[in-house]
Chains A and B, each alone.
Chain A
Amino acid sequence: MLKASIQTIRLKEKSGNKILLSDLSFSLNSGKIYTILGKNGSGKSTLIKSLTNLLDRRFYEISGQVFWKGKDILSLEDSFLLNIRKNEIRYVFQDLTNSFDPLKKFKYYFDNSGFDRQNISELLDYFLLPDYEHLSNLHPYEVSGGMAQRISLVFALLPIPGLIILDEPTSAIDFTNVNLVTLKLKEMISSGNQSALIVTQDVKFAKEISDEIAFLSNGKLGSFMTTENFLLNPDENLDVFLKSFKELE
Chain B
Amino acid sequence: MTDIILKVNNIFYSVENKKGFNTYESFEILKHISFEIERGSVFGVSGESGSGKSTLAKLLAGIIKPTSGNITTNYKKDWTHSSVKPVQLLFQNDGEILNPFRVVDDVLNESIELRKNKENYNSKNVDDLIKQFDLPLNIKSRKCSQLSGGEQQRVALARIIAVEPEILILDEPFSSQDVESRLNLFNLIKSIKSLGVSIICISHELNILKNLAENILIMFKGEIVESGNTIDIFNNPKHNYTKYLLSAESLKLSYMEIHSFHNNYEQD
Contact residues in B for A179 (Cβ distance below 8 Å): 248, 251-253, 258
Q: Does A11 contact B (CB under 8 A)?
A: no
A209 to B250 Cα, complex, angstroms: 11
Q: Which of A40, A175, A245, A247 contacts B251 (CB 8 A)?
A: A175
Closest B residue to A144 by beta carbon equals B49
Distance to closest chain A CB from B114 (angstroms): 32
Q: How far is the CA of A156 from the CA of B179 in the complex (A)?
A: 28
Task: Tell me the nearest residue of chain A to B180, going by C-beta.
Answer: A244
| Nearest Cβ on chain B to A170's Cβ, whole angstroms | 10
Q: Residue B229 at the A interface, CB < 8 A?
A: no
Q: Which residues of A contact B248 (CB under 8 A)?
A: 174-176, 178-179
Q: Flag if B180 contacts A241 (CB, 8 Å).
A: yes
CB distance from B219 to the nearest CB of A (A): 12
Q: Quick check: A201 and B258 within 8 Å, CB to CB? A: no
The answer to whether A241 and B207 have CB atoms under 8 Å apart is no
| B15 close to chain A: CB less than 8 A | no
B249 interface contact, C-beta 8 A: yes
Interface size class of B (residues with CB under 8 A): 20 to 34
Residues of B within 8 A of A205 (CB): 251
- Report the minimum CB–CB distance from A137 to chain B (whole Å): 18
What is B's interface to A at a CB cutoff of 8 Å? 48-50, 148-149, 175-183, 186, 204, 207-208, 211, 244-245, 248-249, 251-255, 258-259, 262
22 contacts between A and B (CB under 8 A): A39-B180, A40-B178, A40-B181, A41-B148, A146-B49, A171-B176, A174-B48, A175-B245, A176-B48, A176-B244, A179-B253, A179-B258, A180-B258, A183-B255, A203-B179, A240-B180, A241-B179, A241-B180, A244-B182, A244-B183, A248-B186, A248-B207
List residues of A whose CB falls within 8 A of some B CB: 39-41, 126, 128, 144, 146, 171-176, 178-180, 182-183, 201, 203, 205, 208-209, 240-241, 244-245, 247-249
Report, nearest first, the 5 A-B pairs whose CB atoms are least far apart. Answer: A175-B248, A244-B183, A201-B178, A244-B179, A39-B178
Known pairs A172-B175, A247-B183; list 6 more (Cβ under 8 Å): A175-B204, A176-B258, A179-B253, A205-B251, A208-B251, A244-B179
